[in-house]
């Protein structure tokens, strides 16, 4: 497409976005933050400074970080056995940087984790690679990802946390939060001998994952189920070119293959409610064999079919989206999947969570005790803003990318899907820009908006070439509408000023991603 035309379109689009923003910002409700006076909490029980519910990725990392700062930490985890689950198997380069800033980088060692240097993308018989940028001067860490068995990683994090003398990691199932006058004082839980008991601490952190029960007593935030991720492991095999995650732009949506150990390959696809074959009677295995496998490129198909033919257990996980909201209750912090979820296609939940843990650690560091509920409330409010560059970028990218990847007979949607493939695999600044965003190497919402607009415009360019017809103009307008629909609700949900003001992103990078940052 003609460069000048692209430029004009880009500027028009930016002007549109900015006008809309200014309009919105001036209309923003100013919520007066009323701080109820609550006496500084005391350390009851002679026990912990903080109770953490759940020793998954988030709970374990936070326990380690807070204990390193001298806090007494009591972690209560329902099931101490190694989790066997299909989630959190891909750690982005940005996530690895954050892990190392928390002193937890060695948890990716000794678990047969595999290196991933980027994507191999397949669409309609074509194939191209999209590497993480290696010459990004802004990213002070080795620009590769790691893939692994999630349970092995979680076990390493738990070991690392409980190796500190001031962490008490106990098996138990938390039943409810203990509340007095709007302040959370502790939890009731069933301990390993099956007895109901209580624990008190000035601060409670709820990090009980995507099926969180406790979240419901703190806010009315509801998770939306977008689709299901269905997959299995092909054992004793290796992918060709194993350092690239294989992303196949298949129907009805994407299919992925990636090496999660030197011998195991994860195979998965996305399916939508109402169209899910039964697992119990073998329909699902047939579906993988007959509907998905033929769409998998020849050189990957053998590995893809291996698991199915060997009767691997097929698992399904709901893919959920939930925006972050603050709880009115005091003395409590909600974290991880209990707090905020995005579509897992961008494989970034753990990265956002590690970023959140690092931010919270930093904000809590200056507090002599964690019992001042008002101070904690202030910390949570700052946390909510500081996390935006990372969380808003990832959440918006996850939403947009997942929608684009859904196959459709609608020409406008299909043009966008093709446009996305072309853009991602075109090489140069488009590929490196998008991959830096995906890898968490450049958590800048503005940069994301730029690339989304550029994808939209180049897709429109394709639709209109070589000659615009009334029909193609109509499809172009709809495509433009579609892309606005992907962006605008997120600008609203994540906060317009946080997403469009570059200062937040600069501050984030300086504090959390620079070589000099702790
Ligand atoms: C299909 C899918 C794929 C994903 N892929 C990726 C990926 O590739 N990369 C990535 O970064 N992210 C990915 N994610 C997201 C990522 O897995 C999550 O964001 C992350 O695991 C959340 O960590 P968490 O600590 O909040 O929860 P979890 O790691 O789930 O930990 C919660 C813990 O709380 C415990 N618990 C629950 N209830 C109680 C209770 N009442 N009492 C005591 N303990 C309790 C549980 O046993 C568990 O150990 C994916 C998500 C999905 C759904
Ligand atoms: C479980 O709780 C009860 C009651 O508080 C206590 O007596 C018992 O020792 C606890 N069991 C364990 C294993 O901690």
Burial class (CB in 10 A: 0-12, 13-18, 19+), 224: exposed
Q: 191 in ligand 2 pocket by Cβ < 6 Å? A: yes
Q: Say which residue, 41 or 278, is predicted with more confidence.
A: 278
Which numbered ligand comes closest to the C-alpha of 207?
1
pLDDT reported for residue 475: 95
pLDDT reported for residue 44: 46
**Do 350 and 95 meet the contact criterion of CB atoms below 8 Å apart?**
yes
Q: How far is the centre of ligand 2, averaged over its atoms, from the C-alpha of 178 (Å)?
A: 18
Burial class (CB in 10 A: 0-12, 13-18, 19+), 68: middle
Average pLDDT rounded to a whole number, residues 128-135: 94
Which numbered ligand comes closest to the C-alpha of 398?
1
Q: Mind spelling out the 3-state secondary structure of 118-177?
A: EEEEEECCEEEEEECCCCCCCCCCCCCEEECCHHHHHHHHHHHHHCCCCEEEEEEEEEEE
pLDDT reported for residue 135: 80
Q: What pLDDT band is residue 301 in, cutting at 50, 70 and 90?
A: very high
CA nearest 307: which of 292, 325, 320?
292
Query: In 396-476, which ranges are E strands?
Result: none
Q: How far is the centre of ligand 2, averaged over its atoms, from the C-alpha of 335 (Å)?
A: 28
To test the pocket of ligand 2, the residue of 172, 192, 193 to mutate (highest count of ligand atoms within 8 Å of its CB) is 193
Query: In 210-341, which ranges are E strands?
Result: 224-234, 244-248, 255-259, 265-271, 315-321, 332-334
Ligand 1 atom having least distance to the Cα of 54: 34
**Residue 374: both structure tokens together:** 């008002």
**Residue 204: both structure tokens together:** 């409670």
Which numbered ligand comes closest to the C-alpha of 270?
1
Q: What pLDDT band is residue 76 in, cutting at 50, 70 and 90?
A: very high
Q: How far is the C-alpha of 477 from the C-alpha of 485, rounded, in Å?
A: 12
Residue minimizing CA distance to atom 7 of ligand 2 = 195
pLDDT reported for residue 136: 67
Kindly report the average pLDDT of the chain as a whole number: 91
Is the pLDDT confidence value at 328 over 70? Answer: yes
Q: 193 in ligand 2 pocket by Cβ < 6 Å? A: yes
pLDDT reported for residue 3: 53
Which numbered ligand comes closest to the C-alpha of 194?
2
> Which alpha helices (H) appear in 246-387, and where do they start and end?
283-287, 298-309, 349-364, 373-386
**Residue 499: both structure tokens together:** 């997403």
Pocket of ligand 1, beta carbon within 6 A: 53-59, 76-79, 86-90, 173-174, 207-209, 213, 229, 317, 319, 336-338, 344, 347-351, 353
pLDDT reported for residue 146: 98
CA nearest 177: which of 53, 40, 73?
53
**Do 511 and 382 meet the contact criterion of CB atoms below 8 Å apart?**
no
Cis omega before residue 142 (within 30°)? no
pLDDT tens digits, one per residue of 214-259: 998 898 888 999 999 999 999 999 999 999 999 999 999 999 999 9
pLDDT reported for residue 50: 98
Ligand 2 atom having least distance to the Cα of 192: 13
Is the pLDDT confidence value at 493 over 80? Answer: yes
Q: What pLDDT band is residue 32 in, cutting at 50, 70 and 90?
A: very low
Is the pLDDT confidence value at 26 over 50? Answer: no
pLDDT tens digits, one per residue of 283-292: 999 999 999 9
Ligand 1 atom having least distance to the Cα of 60: 25
Q: 192 in ligand 2 pocket by Cβ < 6 Å? A: yes
Q: How far is the centre of ligand 2, averaged over its atoms, from the C-alpha of 158 (Å)?
A: 22
Residue 146's contacts (CB-CB under 8 Å, 6 or more residues apart) are 90, 91, 96, 108, 113, 114, 115, 116
Q: What percent of the chain has pLDDT over 70?
A: 90
**Do 203 and 50 meet the contact criterion of CB atoms below 8 Å apart?**
yes
Burial class (CB in 10 A: 0-12, 13-18, 19+), 139: buried
Q: How far is the centre of ligand 1, averaged over its atoms, from the C-alpha of 209 (Å)?
A: 5
Q: How far is the centre of ligand 1, averaged over its atoms, from the C-alpha of 62 (Å)?
A: 14
Q: How far is the centre of ligand 1, averaged over its atoms, from the C-alpha of 235 (Å)?
A: 24
pLDDT reported for residue 518: 55
pLDDT reported for residue 221: 83
**Do 326 and 384 meet the contact criterion of CB atoms below 8 Å apart?**
yes
Residue minimizing CA distance to atom 9 of ligand 2 = 193
Burial class (CB in 10 A: 0-12, 13-18, 19+), 21: middle
Q: How far is the C-alpha of 87 from the C-alpha of 344, rounded, in Å?
A: 8
Average pLDDT rounded to a whole number, residues 411-419: 95
Ligand 1 atom having least distance to the Cα of 76: 43
**Do 327 and 338 meet the contact criterion of CB atoms below 8 Å apart?**
no
Average pLDDT rounded to a whole number, residues 202-206: 97
Which numbered ligand comes closest to the C-alpha of 208?
1
pLDDT tens digits, one per residue of 499-518: 889 999 999 999 999 876 55
Is the pLDDT confidence value at 22 over 90? Answer: no
Q: Say which residue, 5 or 269, is predicted with more confidence.
A: 269
Q: How far is the centre of ligand 2, averaged over its atoms, from the C-alpha of 152 (Å)?
A: 29
pLDDT tens digits, one per residue of 47-70: 899 999 999 999 999 999 999 999
Q: Say which residue, 241 or 20, is predicted with more confidence.
A: 241
Describe the crossing of helices 388-404 and 428-438 by its angle, rounded to 10 degrees.
120
Residue minimizing CA distance to atom 31 of ligand 1 = 56
Q: How far is the C-alpha of 420 from the C-alpha of 422, rounded, in Å?
A: 5
């Amino acid at each position: 497409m003609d460069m000048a035309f692209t430029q004009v379109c880009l500027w028009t689009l930016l002007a549109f976005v900015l006008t809309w923003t200014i309009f919105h910002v001036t209309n923003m409700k100013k919520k007066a933050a009323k701080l109820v006076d609550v006496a500084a909490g005391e350390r009851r029980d002679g026990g912990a400074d903080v109770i953490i519910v759940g020793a998954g990725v988030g709970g374990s990392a936070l326990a380690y970080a807070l204990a390193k700062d001298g806090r007494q930490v009591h972690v209560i985890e329902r099931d101490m056995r190694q989790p066997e689950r299909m989630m959190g198997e891909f750690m982005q380069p940005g996530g690895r940087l954050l892990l190392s800033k928390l002193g937890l980088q060695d948890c990716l060692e000794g678990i047969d984790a595999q290196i991933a240097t980027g994507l191999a993308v397949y669409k309609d018989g074509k194939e191209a690679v999209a590497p993480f940028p290696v010459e990004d001067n802004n990213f002070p860490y080795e620009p590769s990802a790691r893939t692994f068995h999630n349970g092995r990683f979680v076990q390493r994090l738990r070991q690392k946390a409980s190796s500190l003398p001031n962490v008490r990691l106990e098996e138990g199932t938390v039943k409810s939060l203990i509340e007095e006058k709007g302040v959370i004082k502790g939890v009731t839980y069933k301990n390993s001998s099956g007895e109901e008991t209580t624990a008190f601490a000035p601060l409670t952190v709820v990090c009980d994952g995507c099926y969180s029960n406790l979240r419901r007593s703190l806010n009315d935030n509801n998770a939306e189920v977008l689709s299901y991720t269905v997959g299995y492991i092909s054992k004793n095999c290796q992918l060709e070119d194993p350092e690239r995650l294989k992303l196949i732009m298949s129907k009805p949506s994407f299919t992925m293959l990636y090496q999660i150990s030197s011998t195991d390959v994860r195979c998965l696809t996305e399916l939508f409610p109402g169209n899910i074959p039964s697992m119990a009677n073998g329909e699902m295995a047939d579906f993988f064999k007959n509907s998905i496998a033929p769409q998998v490129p020849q050189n990957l198909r053998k590995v893809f079919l291996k698991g199915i033919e060997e009767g691997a257990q097929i698992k399904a996980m709901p893919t959920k989206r939930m925006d972050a909201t603050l709880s009115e209750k005091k003395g409590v912090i909600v974290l991880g999947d209990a707090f905020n979820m995005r579509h897992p296609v961008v494989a970034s939940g753990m990265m956002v969570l590690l970023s959140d843990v690092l931010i919270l650690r930093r904000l809590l560091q200056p507090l002599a005790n964690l019992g001042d509920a008002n101070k904690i409330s202030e910390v949570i409010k700052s946390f909510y803003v500081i996390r935006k560059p990372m969380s808003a970028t990832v959440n918006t990218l996850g939403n947009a990318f997942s929608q684009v990847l859904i196959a459709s007979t609608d020409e406008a949607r299909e043009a966008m899907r093709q446009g996305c493939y072309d853009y991602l695999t075109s090489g140069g600044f488009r590929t490196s820009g998008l991959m830096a965003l995906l890898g968490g190497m450049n958590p800048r919402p503005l940069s994301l908006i730029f690339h989304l607009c550029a994808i939209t415009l180049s897709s429109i360019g394709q639709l209109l070439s070589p000659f615009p017809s009334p029909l193609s103009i109509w499809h172009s307008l709809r495509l433009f509408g579609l892309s606005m629909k992907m962006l605008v609700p997120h600008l609203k949900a994540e906060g317009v000023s946080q997403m469009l003001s570059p200062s937040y992103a600069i501050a984030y990078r300086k504090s959390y991603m620079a070589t000099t940052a702790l």
